[in-house]
Every structure is written in C-alpha cells, then in structure tokens.
Amino acid sequence: MSVRHIGLMSGTSLDGIDAVLADFGASPPRLLHTRYLPYSPELRERLLALARPGDDELHRAAVLGNELSHLYSQAVTDLLSECGLQPQAVAAIGCHGQTVRHCPEPGRRYTIQLCNAALLAELTGITVVADFRSRDVAAGGQGAPLVPAFHHALFAHPEIHRTIINIGGIANLTGLASDGGVSGFDCGPGNLLMDAWCLRHTGRPYDEGGAWAKSGRILPELLDALLAHPFLSLRPPKSTGREAFGPAWLARHLSGNEAPADVQATLLQLTVTAIVQAVQADFPDTREIYLCGGGVHNRALVERLRSALPGRPVEPTDRLGIDADWVEAFAFAWLARQILLKIPAGLPGVTGARGARLLGAIYPA
C-alpha cells in the first residue's frame, strides 16, 4: 500500500475546502503539500439553506453533493499537479464531506455530510473513504468529534497532559492524559457566530485578528443569556453544530439596539468562556495547550485564552510540527489510512458509542 493519502475537510464555517497530501511512511507522519479551495458566496448560501428545513431538500442536497464532489476532485487534481504525482501514487482520499445537519439527540440521532463519494472516486481515479460518522452513530455514538484519535496519535506525550483545542465553526477539545487516556467533546461555538455577524455588518467573511471585536465592549447581560444555553452545561459525550448555535439563536437574544461591535465583542467572549470553562472542568491537569483551526488567527481570542488560562503555554500546533490550519484535513487522511489497515479509529469514550469501530465507507478506485 502507498504511504501517501489525501485528506479533504470542509467544516462548519462553510468557507471552503482544506486539502492535504500526507506521507505516513515518515516518522512522525508529515504533510507534503496543502491546498485551499474557497467556496463561492453563492455555493455557501445554498449550503446554509440546507442547514434549515426547506422545499425540495432531497433534490437540492443531491445536486450539491455532486457539485461538492467536483470541487473536491479539483482540489485533489491541484495537489497532485503541484507535487508532480499521478493518482496511482496515492492510496486513498479521506473525505469528510460537508456537514449540513447534525442531530445528536437520542432516539433520532443522525448526521449528514454531503459528498458523492462514488463520483469522487470516478473523477480522481483514487480510492475514496467517506461517511466517517455513520458507523459510530449506528453503535450508539454521536459520530463526533472524530479527531481526538488523530490528536492522540500525533500529539500525545508520555509525561505531559496536553489539551488540543480546535477552533473552527464549532470549538472542540481533546484531552491527552500522560497515562495514554483520551477524552474530547464539542464545547460550544467557535468562529461560526462571529463570522456570520461580521459578514452581516461589515461585508467581510471574518473579523481579521479580532480587531472589530476589540473595538467593542462586552455586554454582560447578553453574555449571560448566551452562556445559559443548555448545551454548555451538558456533560460529555456531547457534540453540536449550527442547529444549536446559529444566527437565529443569537437573534432571539438581541433587542436590536445593541451596537454591532459590542455584539461581536460579546460573541468572542462567549467562545473564550465556553472553552475556558470546559478546560477547567474536564482537563484541570492540563500542562500544555495547543490550538488549531481558523481561530488561531484571531489574535484577540488567543490573547484572552492566554489570560484566562495562566501558567500554561497556549500555542498553535505548529510548535508540535503540524501547521494549525491543516490539522483537521490531515486527520481525515489518517482516518482513511486506519480503515484501509483495518484499525478501529472510533473512541467510545469520546462519542459514547458501544465500542471502537472501523470508521468510513470505502469506494474503490
């Protein structure tokens, strides 16, 4: 089997596709090349529309799944072209797909990621592994988060308790105990609300460096109302998404008289507080904290995390040898490799599943 795998990740932020080419023949595994393919505003709006009930959903979802698969194929082609490789040099593509619904409620649990994996295999000529969450859900788990197993494989230390914080649209934490124990869960909103609010009021897709948030003041009453969301007090295992922390939920807590910059400042503090409370409650033995995901670039957010978590370094995963922007895509390359090697990658202590399972469905080239 080739040691090269491709990972494709498109997250809750709905900004685009992260693509990586990874080499698992190296020790530790390393990234050979990366590629980012942004979504068009029109595609993003159509994906957002599927996150809520609407007309003709089945047709729209199928069409978007096909369109996304063409974009995934383009990202793969670009990666291989820039590396001078042929498709035969890659063992498999691990494609997360685009989440449009995530329902972790017992009794009606499901999670939907758009991707026509058969089409992607046809377009690329490479074996595709997709649908990573369904088997965990079938085994009674929430199907998320999936990356703690990868975090353990690459970031665990035999003497130091580390916490990995991924700040994408939703924020999730992985606790890596020095005795080898692994735990993790979604802790609340990451960039999702801040990005949506920034786009609505400034026309920019995100608040660069958190500068706009820093220009406002935190609204204590609004912050308290947002922190009262029941999810934030749930005990793990737990996962969440846009359904729970979307703009509609925020709108229900606004009077309409708030200064937009003040709301942005409050949303930034919501993300910080949710993360800090989770670290303090579930990972009190943490000695080192490492960040990944788009939130790493929000300087105001990182500064507040460092201030609220004193005595422990808070650094990007770059310090551990993996660029913070590409950790999740790297994880899905790794997950694809795990199922090809027939190694279970599910962590029942994280998702609540009845046991470790092989994750993903294989679509041969």
Report yes or no on 43 lying in a domain: yes
Residue 318 lies in a domain: no
| SS3 state of residue 90 | coil
* 224 Cα distance to chain centroid: 26
One-letter amino acid identity for 292?
Answer: C
Q: Is residue 271 part of a domain?
A: yes
Shared domain check, 337 and 260:
no
Query: Is the predicted pLDDT of residue 130 greater than 70, yes or no?
Result: yes
Q: Are residues 174 and 302 in the same domain?
A: yes
Same domain, 238 and 120: no
Contact 293, 327 (CB under 8 A): yes
Whole-angstrom Cα distance, residue 185 to residue 187?
Answer: 6
Q: Is residue 241 part of a domain?
A: yes
Local confidence band at 272 (pLDDT 50, 70, 90 cut-offs): very high
Calculate what percentage of the chain has a pLDDT beyond 70. Answer: 100
Query: CA dist 181 to 38, 209, 285, 312, Å?
Result: 36, 34, 12, 20
Same-domain status, 14 and 113: yes
Domain match, 216 and 282 both: yes
Nearest in space to 320 (alpha carbons), one of 164, 198, 215, 200: 164
Instruction: Answer yes or no: is pLDDT of 51 > 90.
Output: no
**297 plus 246 within the same structural domain:** yes
Same domain, 176 and 295: yes
- Mean pLDDT for 120-147 is 97
Q: What percent of the chain has pLDDT over 90?
A: 96
Answer whether residue 138 shows pLDDT above 80: yes
Give the confidence band of 280 by pLDDT, cuts at 50, 70, 90: very high
Q: Does residue 151 belong to any structural domain of this protein?
A: no
Is 250 inside any structural domain?
A: yes
In a domain, 358, yes or no: yes
CA 321 from centre of chain: 19
What mean pLDDT value characterizes the chain?
Answer: 96
Is residue 225 domain-shared with residue 135, that is, in the same domain? no
Do 302 and 212 fall within a single domain?
yes
Q: What are the tokens at 294? A: 């788009």
Backbone φ and ψ of 17, nearest 5°: -115, 125
Q: At 52, is the pLDDT very low, low, confident or very high (cuts 50, 70, 90)?
A: confident
From CA 66, how far away is CA 53, in angstroms rounded? Answer: 20
| Cβ proximity of 62 and 56 under 8 Å | no
The domain that holds 181 is classified in CATH as 3.30.420.40
What pLDDT does residue 2 have?
A: 80
pLDDT at residue 40 above 70?
yes
Instruction: Let me know whether 297 and 341 are in one domain.
Output: no
Same domain, 222 and 261: yes
What is the Cα–Cα distance from 291 to 151, expressed in whole angstroms? Answer: 11
Q: How confident is the model at residue 155 (pLDDT cuts 50, 70, 90)?
A: very high
Helix (H) or strand (E) holding 331: helix 327-340
**Domain's final residue, options 312, 339, 354:** 312
Predicted confidence (pLDDT) per residue in 337-354, tens digit: 999 999 999 999 999 999
pLDDT, tens digit (0-9, with 9 covering 90-100), for 216-240: 999 999 999 999 999 999 999 999 9
* Beta-carbon contacts of residue 320 (< 8 Å; ≥ 6 apart): 154, 155, 290
pLDDT confidence of residue 17? 98
Residue 1's pLDDT is 64
The tokens describing 215, both together, are 């220009």
How many domains is the chain built from?
2
List, in order, residues 6 or more apart from 103 with CB less than 8 Å away. 109, 110, 111, 243
Higher local confidence (pLDDT), 2 or 82: 82
How far CA 299 is from CA of 111, 336, 349, in Å, comes to: 32, 33, 32
Can you say how many angstroms the Cα of residue 253 is from the centroid of all Cα atoms in its chain? 26
DSSP letter, residue 40: P
Contact call for residues 65 and 116 (beta carbons, < 8 A): yes
In a domain, 320, yes or no: no
- Do 174 and 268 belong to one domain? yes
Question: Which structural domain range is residue 129 located in?
Answer: 4-146+325-363
Q: What's the rounded Cα separation, in Å, for the pair 38 and 16?
A: 4
